[in-house]
Amino acid sequence: MAQKYGPMMYLKLGEVPYIIVSSPEIAKEIMKTHDLSFCDRPSLMLPTIFSYNGTDILYSRYGEPWRQLRKICGTELLSPKRVQSFRSIREEEVGDLVKSIAASEESVVNLSHKISDMTHAFVARAAFGKRIKHQQAFRSAIDEISILLGGFCIADLYPSIKMLQSMSMAKTKFEKLHKEVDVIMQDVVDDHRSVHRNVSKDEDIVDALLQIQRESEQSQHPVTDINIKSIILDMFSAGSETSSGFMGWCISEIIKNPKVMEEAQAEVRRVYDKKGYVDETELHQLIYLKCVIKETLRLHPHAPLLLPRECRERCQISGYDIPAKAMVLINAWAIGRDPRYWVDAESFKPERFLNSTIDFKGTDFEFIPFGAGRRICPGIGFVVAIIELTLAQLLYHFNWKLPNDMKNEELDMTESPGVTVTRKHDLCLIPIIRRL
Ligand code: HEM
């Protein structure tokens, strides 16, 4: 549609005006020049329940409470220092993944499931420390919540017809799931509060949030238990399935492109063969692997339309009047394939990023898989660390084959529908141990 109707489209879906932006130039106007006018999120039915009525980071409206939580996120919860403090957990969880794959050598492994279990376990340990009671119930509820959040809600398109909300089966189901995870998370928070732990040593995110809560008691916006639970929920929703879904694409592209596999494996093995195992110390030397990650983010941005923004005040973009309250979707998927910026845009060519300064940190508007501006994803460092380590280990320890003598080019790359886009079908591969 963007190719046919241009880089800025107006669509009226139900009662709601939508602006869809598909060029780097207009994305820059929205997320840089006029960022303050577009840094709100709309109040949608399920995200409102999810976020305890907009008291989280992901879905809350722009304002002082959001600013405060966002600051805590940047300086405390997802800071480079904190990400570094999770190194041993990352190495253990990825090590367990390698062991469990090795145990199924030469047979078909559902890699999508295994990586998803690993990222969930990693986020859970970073957030809660030890294993929690009702781990399985928590995981299933979170998975169902993510599926519902990624879906389509007719009530959001007709906000004036309140009856649609009360009739929504998705809403009833969502409220029940939310209640379940709320009870489990409150239990975790109470448990952390009651036990005198040696937090300076193994501080997890709940410990850090409780400390911030104690320090904020006298402030204008004290951090509440609800804030703590909503931030934790954000981390699972925004951080777990996104990381595993993304790795599914990355490995699929590597398998589909044997030359990329060859080059990526050669690099990892050259760097780590002397040591005999992969840890984080030498990851910075994996230049080609970093290009593979960038190229996957270009072609498969996990949230192809980012997250919806709402226009806070009437303003002019590219000569057009944008009304207040209009919903704005930034088409990062189309932007990443814009032939004006990307040579041979549809092909997977990691080397395009070699000797290039283009990065995904929100300043190069032709490449914005994590968004940009005030609402840019704060989890970039957290996710890149786990992705690099996992891919490096999988490439170092194993060679990979497709099942049923399938040819590389036959690997199915169909996308699942939804706000976030993962592989429609699980990625199943045969591992052959090269070195353990
Ligand atoms: C491959 C992995 C990931 C991708 C592609 C991704 C992408 C995104 C995108 C596109 C946004 C919306 C940005 C915008 O509106 O401009 C976002 C927001 C957010 N992400 Fe991520 N993300 C990833 C991983 C993570 C992780 C690991 C965490 C936390 C542990 C995280 C936490 C958040 C939060 C809290 C927000 C909301 C920010 C706000 O509204 O202020 N994300 N992410």
The mean pLDDT value for 303-310 works out to: 95
- Whether ligand 1 lies within 6 angstroms of the CB of 377 is answered as yes
- Whether ligand 1 lies within 6 angstroms of the CB of 19 is answered as no
Can you tell me which atom of ligand 1 is nearest the CA of 386? 27
Helix (H) or strand (E) holding 328: strand 327-330
> For a pLDDT cut of 90, what percent of the chain falls above it?
89
DSSP classification of residue 116: H
Query: pLDDT of 42-94, one tens digit each?
Result: 999 999 999 999 999 999 999 999 999 999 999 999 999 999 999 999 999 99
Query: pLDDT of 401-412, one tens digit each?
Result: 999 999 999 999
Of the pLDDT bands very low, low, confident and very high (cuts 50, 70, 90), residue 436 is: confident
CA atoms of 414 and 44, how far apart (whole Å): 28
CA atoms of 108 and 97, how far apart (whole Å): 15
| Amino acid letter for position 10 | Y
Tokens of residue 343, six digits: 């040579």
* CA distance readout (Å), 367 to 81, 116, 286, 333, 359: 26, 26, 21, 9, 7
Of the pLDDT bands very low, low, confident and very high (cuts 50, 70, 90), residue 198 is: low
State residue 199's pLDDT score.
57
Specify the range with the lowest mean pLDDT, choosing from 126-135, 141-150, 370-379, 424-433. 126-135
DSSP 7-35: SEEEEEETTEEEEEE-SHHHHHIIIIITG
State residue 265's pLDDT score.
98
Can you tell me which atom of ligand 1 is nearest the CA of 371? 16
CA-nearest residue, atom 5 of ligand 1? 302
CA atoms of 300 and 310, how far apart (whole Å): 24
CA-nearest residue, atom 17 of ligand 1? 377
Tokens of residue 179, six digits: 């209640």
CA atoms of 426 and 252, how far apart (whole Å): 10
CA of 241 to the centre of ligand 1 (A): 11
Percent of residues in the chain assigned helix, strand, coil, to nearest 5: 55, 10, 35
- Nearest CA to 85 out of 228, 180, 201, 257 is that of 201
- Whether ligand 1 lies within 6 angstroms of the CB of 58 is answered as yes
Tokens of residue 43, six digits: 């109040």
The mean pLDDT value for 85-111 works out to: 96
| Amino acid letter for position 17 | P
> Is it the case that residue 200 has pLDDT exceeding 80?
no
Query: pLDDT of 380-434, one tens digit each?
Result: 999 999 999 999 999 999 999 999 999 999 999 999 988 889 999 999 999 999 9
Q: ipTM score of the complex?
A: 0.98
State residue 201's pLDDT score.
62
Cβ(118)–Cβ(94) below 8 Å: yes
Tokens of residue 386, six digits: 């786990």
CA of 377 to the centre of ligand 1 (A): 4
Query: pLDDT of 217-271, one tens digit each?
Result: 888 889 999 999 999 999 998 888 899 999 999 999 999 999 999 999 999 999 9
- Whether ligand 1 lies within 6 angstroms of the CB of 380 is answered as no
State residue 197's pLDDT score.
58
Tokens of residue 110, six digits: 């559902």
CA-nearest residue, atom 21 of ligand 1? 377
- Whether ligand 1 lies within 6 angstroms of the CB of 271 is answered as no
